[in-house]
Structure 1
Amino acid sequence: MNDHELAATLAEQAGKLLLAIRAQGGAAGDEQSNRFLLDQLRLVRPNDAILSEESPDDQVRAEHSRVWIIDPLDGTREYGEPPRDDWAVHVALAVDGEAVVGAVALPAAGLVLHTGQPPELAPPAPGPLRVAVSRSRPSREVMQLTAALSAKPVPMGSAGAKAMAVVRGEVDVYAHSGGQYEWDSCAPVAVAAAAGLHVSRLDGTPLRYNRPDPYLPDVLICRPESADLVLNVLHLGVSHAHHRNQSAAGQHRPRSR
């Protein structure tokens, strides 16, 4: 089984496990999913390193070129609110810092999107751009982006669900600035890139993985024909914010004696 097939199979199986736990009203689904994924990866890829949201970070991974980056349950809140389906399982493989293999399972929707069989990108939808936003805590930057684009905000749950909504053609843009970790974006970024979408940091720079600090605060996934427009708006927003901060700092400088 190649890496793409392995990622898809493990994400699907972990998703089925989580569905069974939820159906029984059980708790600690994230822990059981994590244990399953770790056991399977250690069995079939014993020479690879692993970075998981639910396990202590073993910095030995920095010495490996191949690192599996997993989120056993992305969207714990949504998972705990059946029958919501906007939660996911992420299984990815980063090679030399690049997200090259990924699978995102949306178990409650019966879907697994993965790099072994990249989804076909839907044609552009007519009308205003649609932007996936957090249903509970959309960031100021993303809401400013939505307003600047005269876009339609589409609230939904987990990071994986938002990213796959772009892949599936349900929205056009997923931009996040509220703070994330590598396991939040690695699998979605791999799948989105394989499908032909634009993927980057909010400033347009490449996303890199298996860094010493796994904190990766922002991500942009969007349709390729919208990338320049979105990045330009984001750049202007950052420039204006920087100018405001500089002005505020100037107003509060200590007076000369």
Structure 2
Amino acid sequence: MTVVLAGIGADSTNVGALAPLYDDGTFEYVPIPEKTRETRETETLGSWSLRYDDGVAADLTTRISPQPIHDGETTLTGEALESWPLHHDPNFEALTYGEHRTSGYVSRLRELESGDVVGFYAGLRRQGGDRAHRYLIGYFTVAEVATITPETPRADRERILERHAENAHAKRARDGRLYLEDKTVVIVDGTEPGGLFDRDPIRLSEYYVREGNERAQYYLRDDVASAWSVREGGANMMFKPAYRCAMSGPAFVDRVGVPGERA
């Protein structure tokens, strides 16, 4: 049995800001911008309502440079920014998550089995200027895992994409072709227990100078690594690694609580 922790959500590299963590423990989840306008996703930065504040995701930033037009100069502002679609991944309502990153993500996610857990952590910033940190904001129990490789026959690709139609990677696929045709994509569909936390995300990171480094960086907390039996992913959290934890799905749920029921 396995738990994989995946780094997700808007941050300074894609939106230019982090979602807020409020003083009462509530927080916002904001997906990253989509790479293309060609998607069935209807949510945009201008339509994505913040859960605990009057506003939308677009209010968190003034400009974005979504891939593939990211060249350091091209930016979207104003109405163009507000109308840009979100890559709604993970989708906590549909309990689905897709990934193509090769830095440990695809290999660890495709090994998940029914009953395992995929947890999601994001960068959040407290109000008042306190340092941002990485926080576990939700998870879901694994129901099914599907993998599409560049070699997957078209009929099989179409069947997988149709079965996982609410996944963000399926929404931007066209004529049975993934947006990134040369990448392997793993789609994880979930079941309860699972979902986005209402409040009190679990802080995973510490920020300090580690021996051998010149600058302070984000590192996985030692007590989390020990308690959650982290076996792969490394200590440095700066670039959102995928962590594999040698614990069962039920044990993880018991430790962190059920979304909607956490005290």
Q: Which category of TM-score, normalised to the shorter sequence, fits these structures?
A: under 0.3
- Give the structure with the higher percent helix: 1
TM-score scaled by structure 1?
0.25
| Structure with greater strand share of residues | 2
Structure showing greater radius of gyration is 1
Identify the structure with bigger relative contact order (alpha carbons < 8 Å, sequence gap 6+).
2
